[in-house]
Chains A and B, each alone.
Chain A
Amino acid sequence: MKTSIRIQRADFDLNAEVAALTEDGESGAVASFTGHVRKEGNLSTLTLEHYPHMTEAEIARLAEEARQRWPLTGVTVVHRVGSLKPGDRIVLVAVASEHRHAAFQACEFLMDYLKTHAPFWKEEARAGERHWVEHRHSDDDAAERWNK
């Protein structure tokens, strides 16, 4: 399985990432998810912090878990850190497989697990005040359903 996991400040290009996943011609299906900064109220900036090395290792473990559950040919995860504005891209999960079913399911699985396992933290700035975003229990429920 072709695996690319990157944590970066720079933006990413969805078309380029999908092209890299499919250039060998083995994948008939790519499912991708792109997360953006949502403009909620007076949000001005979202700053993302992470745990270098553990983040990449944890996402690699999640990708391996996905590979054991579905017949995948490639996984690309790009997650941005640093200071972002409403509308900016934050995260890309793209999953390639021979057929669509595995690609759709593994993409959603990876996104659900990334939300609950990958060590990132968001800090919001609103009208000059900064505060840390609270973890959402609905994200725990979304990840938990894959264990049923």
Chain B
Amino acid sequence: MTLLYFAWVRQKIGKGEEALEASVADVAGLIAHLKSLGPNYADAFADLSRIRVAVNQHHAGLDAKVGPDDEVAFFPPVTGG
């Protein structure tokens, strides 16, 4: 799957985009996997109340299903306008 990171999530992880092969069922499982990859990921995902998710460019929850062909984005609550 394709992972995208924005704003301080991107800065904490240290990249804006990456491809990942992982057998996870949902967003919560994906986050648990990412947190095991290194302290930068663990730091970015330390407080999930500050993280928002989009799956295939639609806002989604932690229980949203994800698969190999999906685009999953992680970012802080939005501040546009």
B54 touches A122 (CB 8 A): no
A58 CA / B79 CA spacing, docked (Å): 14
Output the least CB separation between A34 and chain B (Å): 11
Contact with A along B58-69 (1 / 0, CB 8 A): 110000000000
Tell me whether A1 is interfacial, beta carbon within 8 Å: no
Instruction: Tell me, in angstroms, the Cα distance from A8 to B27 when the chains sit together.
Output: 31
Q: Please name all residues of chain A whose beta carbon is closer than 8 Å to the beta carbon of B80 when the two chains form the complex.
A: 48, 50, 79, 91, 114-115, 118-122
Contact at B76–A132, with CB atoms within 8 Å?
Answer: yes
Count of chain B residues with a beta carbon within 8 Å of a chain A beta carbon: 16
Interface flag for A116 (CB, 8 Å): yes
Q: Mark A17-42, 1 if CB is under 8 A from B, else 0.
A: 00000000000000000010000000
B73 at the interface (CB under 8 A from A): yes
For residue B24, give the distance in angstroms from its CB to the closest CB of chain A: 21
A43 to chain B, nearest CB (A): 14
Measured as residues with beta carbon below 8 angstroms from the partner, the interface class of chain A is 20 to 34
Q: Are B79 and A51 in contact (CB under 8 A)?
A: no
**Chain B stretch 23-81: residues in CB contact (< 8 A) with chain A:** 54, 57-59, 73, 75-81
The reply to whether B4 and A51 contact each other, CB–CB distance below 8 Å, is yes
Asked if A117 is at the interface (CB within 8 A of a chain B CB), the reply is yes
A101 at interface (Cβ–Cβ under 8 A)?
no
Other than the known A90-B81, A134-B77, A135-B78, what 12 A-B pairs have Cβ atoms closer than 8 Å? A51-B54, A57-B57, A58-B59, A79-B81, A111-B81, A114-B81, A115-B78, A118-B78, A118-B81, A132-B8, A134-B79, A135-B77
**B contacts, CB < 8 Å to A:** 4, 6-8, 54, 57-59, 73, 75-81
